[in-house]
Amino acid sequence: MDIDITRPDIPTEDGVADAVLAAPVAGGPYPGVLLYMDAIGLRPVLESLAARLAGEGYVVLVPNVLYRAGRASGAEAADLSDPEQRGALFARLAGPMSDLTPERAMEDADAYLASLAADPRVAGGPVGTAGYCMGGALALRTAAHVPDRVAAAASFHGGGLASDAPDSPHRLVDRISGEVYVAHADHDASMPEDAQQRLDEALAAAGMAHRTELYEGAAHGFTMADTGVYDAEADQRHWVALTDLLARNLSR
């Protein structure tokens, strides 16, 4: 399937978010998917992921959620397999990440979803959300924020999903009406075993269709092929889980 890649600018309450949009060239309309980036940022590996997912019959939007700090740039120039360069990048992004409050993130989510809905290639039914690293929390928050719009939500090596914060994502899952899938990295400091259990308990109490899995031996960031922690086997497992989740819940 031929895929069209564009880089739209999306107006938000606080400015303009740059983004990548991947869509099949022919046919449609197709279900929309809002794909949230990891903390490293919008870069070629995420564009490739969006294009691959579009090839399954979806219109996929990947916004630069840290647009308030500037347009996406620089991540692709770093050697992300080098711990020193990766650490320097995270240090630079710490401020913008902390500035992305849950309230701001959901204002942005409204803009991203409106952009998808306005695209004539996008079907009028529900959408899916998926996120990686920090994007995992955003995917779940969005599903809770607009439960009537999101039929499927997935988090892969997501961090901070069940913290002590009063607005922790796990405290919101009872608002979700769609199916949820969560893949935990092994020995992940951002989502330790007790937090995984807390999330599991919240999802079970909420009662929606859901599945959580621990990818044993896979480190935080295992899906990102441009990093030193990439795990090809775990990445393929994530791909099967993601495409199965979307196919079950989104009409094509």
What's the pLDDT at 229? 94
> Strand 59-63 and strand 127-132: pairing?
unpaired
Q: Which helix (H) or strand (E) holds 199?
A: helix 193-206
Side-chain half-sphere CA neighbours of 209 within 13 A: 9
Architecture of the domain made up of 3-249: 3-Layer(aba) Sandwich (3.40)
Of 77-81, 161-165, 193-197, which range is least confident?
77-81
Q: What percent of the chain has pLDDT over 70?
A: 91
- CB contact at 8 A, 162 and 196: yes
pLDDT tens digits for 139-183?
Answer: 999 999 999 999 999 999 999 999 999 999 999 999 999 999 999
pLDDT tens digits for 120-136?
Answer: 999 999 999 999 999 99
What residue has token string 């630069």?
64
Closest CA to 50 of 139, 114, 130: 130
Q: Which helix (H) or strand (E) holds 9?
A: strand 9-12
Cα–Cα distances in Å, from 219 out to 3, 85, 94, 188, 195? 31, 18, 20, 7, 16
Q: What is the mean pLDDT of the chain?
A: 93
Distance CA(34)–CA(147), nearest Å, equals 14
Q: Which helix (H) or strand (E) holds 24?
A: strand 15-24
- Whole-angstrom Cα Rg for the chain: 17
Q: What is the mean pLDDT of residues 27-40?
A: 96
User: What are residue 183's DSSP bridge partners?
Assistant: 156, 213
Q: Comparing 78 with 33, which gets the higher pLDDT?
A: 33
For residue 74, pLDDT beyond 80: no
What's the pLDDT at 251? 78
- CB contact at 8 A, 92 and 220: no
pTM given for the model: 0.94
